[in-house]
Amino acid sequence: MSAVVMKGISKAFGGVKALDNVDFEVLPGEVHALLGGNGAGKSTILKVLNGVHKPDAGTIAVGGTPLTTHTPEASRAAGIAMNFQEMSLIPTLTVAQNIFLTREARTTRGFLDDKACETKAAEIFAMLEVKVNPKAVVGTLGAGQKQLTEIAKAISQTSKVLILDEPSTALAVSDVERLFTFLRKLRAQGVAIIYVSHRMDEIARIADRATILRDGKHVITAPVADLPIDTMIEHIVGKRSKGLADVHRGDVSRGEVLLEAKNLTGPHKPDNVSFTLHRGEVLGLAGLLGSGRSALARVIAGIEPAVSGEIRIKGKPVTIRKPSDAIAAGVALVPEARATQGIIPAHSVASNMVLSVLDRISGKGVVDRAKAEAITDDMIKRLSIKAASRDHAVSTLSGGNQQKVVIGKWLATDPDILVLDEPTAGIDIGSKSEIIRLVRDLAAQGKGIVVISSELSELLTACDRILVMADGRAHQMIDRATLDDPDEPDPGHRLQGAERQLQVEIQKALAFEAPQRQEQTQEVSHG
């Protein structure tokens, strides 16, 4: 008997058909990958299964029993648990309170028992072999720990079907490995796992079968063993492609130094970091979760002002104490947390796109609508944003298209220096290539760009130089070209070889920092 059978599922939003007569079946004890590009319908069909959306047509059966009531409560009662790509956590509650929200433990007198919830949460994290404090307020956590909390929330429910929508987006490599180990245990227990990821290498390692959607329609369901990565990409984008290996980097023509950081130290991280960014180049920041990459970006953008060190722009010292100082100096940051820091979901594409330039297109407090529409239409065309119209709410767009709106919003300011923190998180392989080509084009036009990414292949495709970081410190500046094997003719194999070399350099930086951290811990404990 199948764990899930969905037949003829259709769903439309505002005249746009997100799902068109889609069939989807998952077996007990399998990891089933659900793949597709931006707007393919992946998140929509999962939200239909989870009761968030009611289908316009079609039937759903879970464990052979028809699911006729389409609410999250009915889906949960049927044994379905889901973590969401756009995190559903409440920032003012603790980790444990979020994990057991609406399912709280209670004392014998009927009161909420936070201590029992914290104990259960600690057990889940111990099972995953990760460190997250159950008592920590979620709003104070980094993206990776929030992601782990979201996963813990899903697996805390005794479920027959576990849905993981982009679970590894913000996770370190080691945390992904632990998650995979845990998922294999669940699979052995007969749990059906639906796994969504844009990372093809993950799918090849963890999934048994895959279903691919494109433009809201079912394309193929097949064993992963029968779907080489290039075949998967072909089905996803509708044409032959080697993914990022197909992106032509072009020659870099470095100009003047646009940005110079000297011994830059933030409130927590970075720690005494120095680097230069030239006009016309893309500089990558590589390192694992907690390495200080995003903290460095926040210091440069004025979100967390530096406590010491100096920032120079075009050779002149600048004081950046708040984001408006950075914007005035020609620095724009596309933040890591798209849903909370990048967009206003309920507002239109046009409203979001011009947020950063309202002062330039307004007179006497009134926005020039024609200018706003012209900027929006230009960015929609330039970034190939898939939206029903500029007037539709950003929340109706797929995750990848929402990210393009965030990038477009900041490109509208025409910055000299653009800092991109995880710019392609939750974006399909075809759109990743588009974003990276855009980054290369912007550099060719004379902008200086800093890219932070957990995906090494993305850094290697986009960047001219890569700064390796660990524990808040800069360890090594690597010229991208030195990582290529000149004797390897195949672009895909060459990219994989460069990725392995970069991974080695990151591990070396971690190994160097480990004894330093231990020494500091001993000094504190003896002090």
H or E element: which one contains 523? helix 491-526
Q: What are phi and psi of 8, to 5 degrees?
A: 60, 35
CATH number at residue 33: 3.40.50.300
> Would you tell me how many other CB atoms lie within 10 Å of the CB of residue 473?
19
Are 180 and 233 within one domain? yes
What DSSP string runs through 34-68? EEE-TTSSHHHHHHHHTTSS--SEEEEEETTEE--
Q: What is the pLDDT of residue 523?
A: 43
Partners of 60 in beta bridges: 6
Q: Does the model's pTM come out above 0.85?
A: no
Domain end call among 219, 243, 267 = 243
Whether residues 77 and 164 share a domain: the answer is: yes
Q: Same domain, yes or no, for 107 and 230?
A: yes
The pLDDT score that the predictor gives to residue 515 is 58
Q: Tell me, yes or no, whether 459 lies in a domain.
A: yes
Q: Is residue 464 part of a domain?
A: yes
141 and 283 share a domain? Answer: no
Q: Which helix (H) or strand (E) holds 96?
A: helix 95-99
Do 453 and 504 reside in the same domain of the chain?
yes
Pairing of strands 161-165, 80-83: parallel
What pLDDT, on a 0 to 100 scale, did the predictor assign at position 337?
A: 73
- Residue 392 domain-assigned? no
What is the span of the domain harbouring residue 70?
A: 4-243
My answer on whether 165 and 290 are in the same domain is no
pLDDT of residue 310: 95
Residue 386 falls inside a structural domain: no
What pLDDT does residue 527 have?
46
Residue 338 within a domain: no
Question: Which residue type, as a one-letter code, is found at position 148?
Answer: L
Asked if residue 395 is part of any domain, the answer here is no
Judgement on whether residues 138 and 33 belong to the same structural domain of the protein: yes
The residue out of 243, 267, 300 marking a domain boundary is 243
Is there a domain that residue 432 lies in? Answer: no
Q: Does 352 map to a domain?
A: no
Please count the structural domains in the chain.
2
Please compute Rg for the chain using Cα positions. Answer: 23
Long-range contacts from 181-189, C-beta under 8 angstroms, 24+ separation: 181/129, 182/127, 182/128, 182/155, 183/31, 186/155, 186/162, 187/29, 187/30, 187/31, 188/29, 189/29
Strands 273-278 and 362-363: unpaired
Which pLDDT score is estimated for 242?
53
Close Cβ partners of 54 (under 8 Å, ≥ 6 residues apart)? 48, 70
User: Does 87 share its domain with 194?
Assistant: yes
> Is residue 107 located within the same domain as residue 54?
yes
The answer to whether the CB of 275 falls within 8 A of the CB of 473 is no
Residue 108, classed as helix, strand or coil, is coil
Residue 227 and residue 253 share a domain: no
Per-residue confidence (pLDDT) for residue 243, from 0 to 100: 60
Query: Tokens standing for 56?
Result: 């316009």
Answer yes or no: do 465 and 477 share one domain: yes
CA distances from 401 to 263, 386, 417, 431 (A): 37, 6, 23, 9
Q: Are 310 and 263 in contact (CB under 8 A)?
A: yes
Predicted pLDDT of residue 247:
67
pLDDT digit string (tens) for 88-118? 789 899 999 999 988 888 988 888 899 999 9
d(CA 96, CA 119): 8
What is the pairing mode between strands 308-313 and 4-13?
unpaired
End-of-domain residue from the set 187, 216, 243: 243
**Same domain flag for 258 and 133:** no
Per-residue pLDDT of the chain (527 residues; tens, 9 = 90+): 899 999 999 998 776 788 999 999 999 999 999 998 766 888 899 999 999 999 999 999 999 999 999 999 999 899 998 887 556 789 899 999 999 988 888 988 888 899 999 999 999 888 888 888 999 999 888 777 888 888 888 888 878 999 988 887 667 777 888 888 888 988 998 999 999 987 777 888 899 999 999 888 999 999 999 998 778 877 876 655 456 666 666 666 789 999 999 999 999 899 999 999 999 999 999 987 678 999 999 999 999 999 999 999 999 999 999 999 999 999 999 887 777 778 888 899 999 988 888 888 888 778 888 989 899 999 888 888 888 889 988 888 877 788 889 988 988 888 999 999 988 876 666 677 778 888 898 899 899 999 998 778 889 999 999 999 988 999 999 999 899 888 888 887 888 788 878 878 887 887 776 555 444 434 433 44
Residue 404: strand, helix, or coil: helix
- pLDDT for 519 equals 47
* Tokens read off for 378: 């230009």
- Residue 466 in contact with residue 474, Cβ under 8 Å? no
